[in-house]
Amino acid sequence: MGRGRNRRRVDRTAEEVARGRKRTLRWALGLVLALSALAAGAAGARWLSGSGALRIRDIRFEGLSRAGADELIAFSPVKVGDSFFLADVDAMERGLSRHPWVRRVEVRHALLPPSLVVHVEERRPIALVELSGLYLVDDEGNVFKRVAAGDPIDLPLVTGISRAEYERRSGASEELLAHALALVRAWRDGGRPRPTLSEIHVEPDGVTIHVGEDGTEVRLGAGDLGAKLSRLDKMLSALGAEGKKAEVVHLDNRLHPSWVTVRLAGVTSPVVKVAGSREP
C-alpha cells in the first residue's frame, strides 16, 4: 500500500489539463470568429469596435440555491462590460470560491451574445456545530459559515468542541468533529426509519446523542458504532410496540458491550431494562 504516484493527484491533473484544453479551444473559436468579422471589411470592424460585441454583456449563474447572483458578483473581479476575450476566468473562479456557500465553480464563455456562464456547486450542510455560536458544517467536514437568517437549522447539533481548540486546528478537536459527522452519516444511512437526531455531544471518552421528539438521551460511549446503533434500533422498536418510551438508554457498558440498559420515561420509581444478556 502507498506505492506509486498518488492516483487522486493524477486524476486531478488530468482533469485540469482537459479543462485547459477546452478553454483554449473556446478561446480559439472566439478569436477566429472575431478575426473573420474583421476581415469582412470596414463595416465589420466598426461593428466589432463600436457596438460592444467584444464586451461581456451578461454573467449567468447555474446551480444556485443558497447563494445569490448579486452576492457572487461582488466576489468577482470580472464584471459586465469587461473585455470578453481578455476576461481572467481563473481569477473569477478564485474570487467566487470565497463565497461561503460555493463548493466548486466553473466559468465558461458563451459567444452569442458575448457572456459568461458560471456553474456553481453549492455546499451541502449536514450538521450544526456550537463554537461560541452556531456554524454550518458541510458533508466534507468543513465548518464554512456562521448561521444567519434563512440558513437551514433543522440539522443535528454537535456540542462539546472548544472554539479555542478548534481555531488552533488541534488534532483532538478535528477528530471529535469527524466522529460526530460519521455518526450523522451512519444515522442517516441506516437503511431504516429512525427518530430525529437532534444533538451529538462529543467527548474524548465517548459520544452521547439525543433523539426523537422527547429528546431521549442515548449514551453510546466509544467504538463499535454500527453494532450499537443496531441494538438501539431494536430496543426503541420493542419499546414502541409496548407503548413505552425511553428516557435514557445506555450502550456504553465496557464490561458487557452487548448490554442495553434503559430507564423508562414516565415511571415514578427507577426502572431498568437489560437486553443482550441472559442475566436479569
Supply the pLDDT for residue 8.
41
- Burial (CB < 10 A; 0-12, 13-18, 19+), residue 3, is exposed
| 3-class DSSP assignment, residue 98 | coil
Residue range 256-280: mean pLDDT, rounded: 66
Statement: 55-122 belongs to CATH 3.40.710.10: no
Up-side HSE of residue 16: CA atoms within 13 Å toward CB?
7
The 10s digit of each residue's pLDDT in 199-241 is 999 998 899 999 998 899 999 988 888 889 999 999 888 888 8
Grid coordinates representing 274 are 437489560
Grid coordinates representing 4 are 506509486
pLDDT of 85 strictly over 80: yes
- Measure the CA–CA gap between 116 and 123, rounded to whole angstroms: 22
Residue range 92-99: mean pLDDT, rounded: 98
Higher pLDDT, 268 or 47: 268
Name residue 215's amino acid: G
Mention every residue, 6+ apart, whose C-beta is less than 8 A from residue 110.
60, 116, 117
Q: Which of 4-8, 10-14, 46-50, 257-261 has the highest mean pLDDT?
A: 257-261
Statement: 125-275 belongs to CATH 3.40.50.11690: yes
Supply the pLDDT for residue 27.
56
Q: How many Cβ atoms are within 10 Å of 66's Cβ, its own excluded?
A: 19
Nearest to 120 by CA among 60, 56, 58: 60
What is the helix, strand, coil percentage profile of the chain, to 5?
Answer: 35, 25, 40
Residues 124, 139: contact at Cβ < 8 Å? yes
Whether cis (ω within 30° of 0) applies to the bond prior to 195 is: no
Supply the pLDDT for residue 130.
97
- Cα separations in angstroms, 64 against 60, 61, 119, 202: 11, 7, 8, 34
Q: What is the dihedral of CA 34, 38, 43, 47, to 10 degrees?
A: 30
pLDDT of 16 strictly over 90: no
Q: Per-domain residue ranges for the chain? A: 1-50, 55-122, 125-275
If you compute the radius of gyration of the chain from its CA atoms, what whole number of angstroms results?
28
pLDDT-derived band at 6 (thresholds 50, 70, 90) equals very low
- Measure the CA–CA gap between 257 and 166, rounded to whole angstroms: 31
- Measure the CA–CA gap between 259 and 270, rounded to whole angstroms: 18
- Measure the CA–CA gap between 115 and 169, rounded to whole angstroms: 41
Average pLDDT, the chain: 83
